[in-house]
Structure 1
Amino acid sequence: MASGLSVDLSTTLGADEIGVLFAYFLLGVATCQVYIYYSRFPDDSVKLKTLVAIVWLAEFGRIVCIGSGLFTYTIFNYGRPETVVGPLPKALDIAILIGGIPIICVQGFFLFRIYAFSKRLLVPVFICVVTSMRCISGTALMVTSLRMKSLVEFEVQWGWLFTAFWSFGVVSDVGLTVALVALFLRQRPSGQKRTVALLDKLILWTLETGMLTSVTMISEVIFFHTMKNNFIWAAPFTLHTLLYSNSLLASLNSRATLRAMNEVSLPSLHLTAALANGVQLTPDTAGIMEQSSKISQV
Structure 2
Amino acid sequence: MDPASFDPNPTLGAVQIGVLVAYVLFGVATTQAYIYFSRFPDDSRRVKAFIVLVWSLDIAHSLCFGHVLYTFTILDFAQPQRLGAQPPKSLSVSTLFSGLTAAAVQGFYSYRIYLFTKKLFVPCILWFMALLHFAGRVLLFATTLHTPSILVYIQQWEWLITTNWGLSVATDVAISVTMVTVLYRRRSNAHRKTAALVDKLIVWTIETGLLTSATSLVMLGSFLKSKENFTWLAFHAIGTQLFTNSLIASMNSRASLRSRDPIALSSLSSNRPVPPGVHIQTVKHVTYEGEEVPPQKIPEDV
Q: Percent identity?
A: 39
Query: Contact 2:168–2:213 (CA<8 Å) still a contact in 1?
Result: yes
Match of 2:21 in 1: 22
In structure 2, the residue matched to 1:270 is 280
Distance 2:3 2:140 in 1: 25
CA contact (8 A) 1:3 1:152 kept: no
How many Å separate the matches in 2 of 1:146 and 1:268? 61
1:270 aligned counterpart, secondary structure = strand
Aligned to 2:137: 138
- Tell me the equivalent position of 1:187: 186
Partner-residue secondary structure (3-state), 2:68: helix
The AA in structure 1 aligned to 2:240 is: T
Q: Which secondary structure state, in structure 1, belongs to the residue aligned with residue 142 of structure 2?
A: helix
The 8 Å contact of residues 55 and 245 in structure 1, kept in 2 or not, is answered as yes
Greater radius of gyration (CA): 2
Q: Which residue number in structure 2 is paired with residue 99 of structure 1?
A: 98
Aligned-partner SS, 2:236: helix
> In the TM superposition, what is the alpha-carbon distance from 1:269 to its structure 2 partner?
8.3
Partners of 1:271 and 1:167 in 2: CA distance: 52
Structure 1 window deviating more from structure 2 (96-105 vs 33-42): it is: 96-105
For the Cα contact (< 8 Å) 2:180–2:202, is it kept in 1?
A: yes
List aligned pairs for 1:1-298, cutoff 5 A.
6-263=5-262, 270=280
State the Cα distance separating 1:90 from its structure 2 match.
1.2
**TM-score normalised to the size of structure 1?**
0.87
Distance 2:75 2:227 in 1: 27
- Residue type matched to 1:151 in 2? I
Shift of 1:228: 3.4
Using the size of structure 2 for normalisation, the TM-score is: 0.86
Q: Which structure shows the higher helix fraction?
A: 1
Instruction: Give the distance between the partners of 1:244 and 1:269, measured in 2 at CA.
Output: 39
SS at structure 2 position matched to 1:258: helix
Which has more strand, going by share of residues?
Answer: 2
Unmatched 5+ stretches in structure 1: 280-288, 290-298
On the 8 A contact 1:263/1:269 being kept in 2, the answer is no
Residue 231 of structure 2 aligns to a residue in which SS?
A: coil
Indicate the structure whose relative CO is greater, using CA pairs within 8 Å and at least 6 residues apart.
Answer: 1
Ranges in structure 2 where 5+ consecutive residues have no aligned partner: 265-275, 284-294
Q: CA deviation at 1:267?
A: 8.3
Alignment deviations for residues 178-221 of structure 1 (CA, whole Å, 9 cap, x no partner): 11101100111111111111000000000000011111111111
SS at match of 1:30: helix
Q: Please identify, of 22-31 and 215-224, the stretch whose mean Cα deviation from structure 2 is larger.
A: 215-224
Aligned length: 276
2:32 partner amino acid: Q
Q: CA RMSD in A?
A: 2.4
Q: 2:219, 2:232 within 8 Å by CA — same for their partners in 1?
A: yes
Where do 4+ consecutive residues of structure 1 move more than 3 Å? 2-7, 263-269
